Amino acid sequence: MKSSITILAIFTLFISCKEESTTKINKYFDLKTSITNQINVLNKEKPTFSKTVWSDNTPETKDVKIEDWSKELELFLQTDLNKPAYLNSYEINQSDSLIVYHLKKSENLPVNNIKILLKNNQLTAMEATIANQNYLYETDKHVKMTLVDNVVNYYLIEGTQKLVFGDKKAFKIEAKVKK
């Protein structure tokens, strides 16, 4: 009998810990949900974008219907600050329509800063700087997105990448919805 009570107590403790760990508290603006919602809308509506890709400073522009928006906007998802490791890592400056997050000097995380514009508590624009560095490579990325009528109408992804045994290479992708 004593062993079954012990097992029941351990099981109850396990369940209560599991429930507690799945509760997510968002200290920062929930960009992940906003961008995931945009991905769902764009995958459903399949708008045509005029997309320009710069390679070696030479632009190439095409009208495209993007098939996989989660892949296209992956860098935007990486700006999610609501991760346990990021909890107290950012300074916050906020007004009714603007939120700015800056990485504290004492922290070493990939997202350096984010600027979020809101209208009626809805995302209308965002931009962020992401940087990663280790002994093999160094990257520096800037992403920007604007929304009209709660749907993405423009985005920019640009930056540089340098491998340890190579030159620094710049990249830029800019896309605007076709009217």
Asked if the structure places residue 4 within a domain, the reply is: no
Asked if the structure places residue 91 within a domain, the reply is: yes
Asked if the structure places residue 159 within a domain, the reply is: yes
Total count of domains within the chain:
1
pLDDT score recorded for residue 40: 97
Asked if the structure places residue 20 within a domain, the reply is: no
Asked if the structure places residue 173 within a domain, the reply is: yes
Q: pLDDT 10s per residue in the chain (179 long)?
A: 555 554 444 444 444 444 444 456 788 999 999 999 999 999 999 999 999 999 878 899 999 999 999 999 999 999 999 999 999 999 999 998 999 999 999 999 999 999 999 999 899 999 999 999 888 889 999 999 999 999 999 999 999 999 888 888 999 999 999 97
H or E, element range at 39: helix 31-45
Asked if the structure places residue 166 within a domain, the reply is: yes
- Supply the range of the domain harboring residue 88: 27-177
* Tokens encoding 29: 């603006």
pLDDT score recorded for residue 165: 87
Asked if the structure places residue 13 within a domain, the reply is: no
Q: Could you give the CA distance from residue 135 to residue 90 in angstroms, rounded to a whole number?
A: 25
Instruction: Classify strands 111-119 and 168-177 as parallel, antiparallel or unpaired.
Output: unpaired
